[in-house]
Amino acid sequence: MTLKSRLNRLELTIGSWVTLGHSSIAEIMAAAGFDWLVLDMEHSVLELSDVQSIIQVLDGKECPAIVRLTSNHSDQIKRVMDAGATGIMVPMIKSAADAKAAVEGVYYPPRGQRGVGLARAQGYGASFQAYRQWLDDNAVIVVMIEHVDAVQAIDQILAVPGIDAYIIGPYDLSGSMGRPGDLDHPEVQAAIAQVLEAGRRAGKPGGIHVIEPDLQALQQRIQAGFNFLGYGLDIRILDAICRSHLQTIRATLKNS
């Protein structure tokens, strides 16, 4: 079953973030069983060449690759999709017009406005028509809700045809409300709840990024109703495991 169909069925999916450019890291994470992986071009040093190499590895593991863009720009959307991405995660969507632009960047005319090129996604020119069908059946477009303007326009954003899921960016959202990093403030929590409720009304899967690899925090998000969840990221998982194991080792040696 494709990720797109699972999202349409509102199934719970759990993915993670890739920020390091070595494809072996993404391969290990895919083999561990994440439902999808986000290749983060916005807050990492990943270049497009890194992204394509990682996508090639993830294809071998049948793990959908979603590229988090630096902006809602049609040129970048076109290039990452041509590289073979399953879909895109678009930052700072604030209106229905923004959401519509993202959809148009992924799909060819008449559905969208994406320019036609022959690259990896199209079998290097050998399977363009098959790729057109693949887009309809598989392409995933995730909008990032991370500004108070988006909260105010959430129903219109989620009503745009072609939007498959949303994910809340709590830090930027709190900043746009004049409370950067104060994620537990009642106004910030109320905004998150408003988005979650709008997602339920629209029948759209939605989530939030549980940045620290904390199983209790993940369970709380699931119980709250989120079903498109990012769990950790490569650097935080690596750091947390190393620190935890070394603390245990040192405590054991000290007491032995």
- Which positions are catalytic? 43
DSSP labels, the chain: --HHHHHHTT--EEEEEE-S--HHHHHHHHHHT-S-EEEESSSS---HHHHHHHHHHHHHTT--EEEEPSSS-HHHHHHHHHTT-SEEEES---SHHHHHHHHHHHSPTTT--PPP--STTTGGGT-HHHHHHHHHHH-EEEEEE-SHHHHHTHHHHHTSTT--EEEE-HHHHHHHTT-TT-TTSHHHHHHHHHHHHHHHHHT--EEEEE-S--HHHHHHHHHHT--EEEEEEHHHHHHHHHHHHHHHHHHHHHH-
